[in-house]
Amino acid sequence: MTDQKAKMGHLEVVCGSMFSGKSEELIRRLRRAEIAQQKVLVFKHSLDNRKTIDYIVSHNGNKLKAFALSSATEILELVDDDVSVIGIDEVQFFSNEIVNTIHTLVNRGKRVIAAGLDLDFRGVPFGSIPLLMAIADSSTKLKAVCIKCGDNAHFTQRLINNQPAKYNDPVILVGAEEFYQARCRSCFVIDRSPAYNYERI
Ligand SMILES: [Zn+2]
């Protein structure tokens, strides 16, 4: 064996509830890489089938230009050899193929920073986030502030017409007024607990 090891990258996961500052933290890490003269590419999910240029925006108004894509594999087509750092925001919206995509990028020597919601409004782990947290080199779980009591919050409360959403409410409700709040475990309201059994969720 020679003492030359393949240069591997690494994966950092930044997760938390809504309003926990995930995008802000992602932008902070990416800006530091840019200051260090590293080439950075940023991606987010387009939520439709268009491939566009968009921005990732934090709640305090910071923003970074990003490619909005609908498929994880498109990321591989856009990352050249000279790219060192890849940021992915709202990673939970990509299909589970994103895990293989990120694994490939890390094995190609890239530093990947993936930010996303760890739990959905029911308190169920969101999309590929559990897998990504498990294979990450580091994972950071950010807390928001509970809007009811001021404690640390890691749940996202969904409210429909000002009432807590029910576990089985559809994701899209036409004509309903809905919004989200950060809440602690005590103040989070849902009509039933998740079973944490992936056959049944
Ligand atoms: Zn609370």
141: three-class secondary structure by DSSP: strand
Backbone angles phi, psi at 124, to 5 degrees: -100, 135
Q: Is 77 annotated as catalytic?
A: no
Question: Which pTM does this prediction carry?
Answer: 0.91
pLDDT at 123 exceeding the cut of 80: yes
Chain-wide mean pLDDT for the chain? 91
- Mean pLDDT across 16-25: 95
| Alpha carbon of 154 to ligand 1 centroid (Å) | 10
CATH architecture of residue range(s) 10-144: 3-Layer(aba) Sandwich (3.40)
| Alpha carbon of 156 to ligand 1 centroid (Å) | 11
| Alpha carbon of 142 to ligand 1 centroid (Å) | 16
Lowest mean pLDDT segment, chosen from 90-104, 119-133, 166-180? 166-180
Give pLDDT, residue 78: 95
pLDDT band at 61, cuts 50/70/90?
confident
Q: Which amino acid, 139?
A: S
CB 139 within 8 A of CB 15: yes
Alpha-carbon distance of 120 to 105, in angstroms, equals 27
pLDDT at 3 exceeding the cut of 80: no
Ligand 1 is an ion; residues with CB less than 5 A from it: 146, 148-149, 151, 184, 187
pLDDT band at 84, cuts 50/70/90?
very high
Give pLDDT, residue 48: 67
Q: Which residues contact 192 (CB under 8 A, 6 or more apart)?
A: 167
| Alpha carbon of 183 to ligand 1 centroid (Å) | 5
29: three-class secondary structure by DSSP: helix
| Alpha carbon of 29 to ligand 1 centroid (Å) | 29
| 180 CB-contact burial (10 Å; exposed 0-12 / middle 13-18 / buried 19+) | middle
Give the active site residue among 24, 25, 90, 97: 90
pLDDT, one tens digit per residue, over 180-191 is: 999 999 999 999
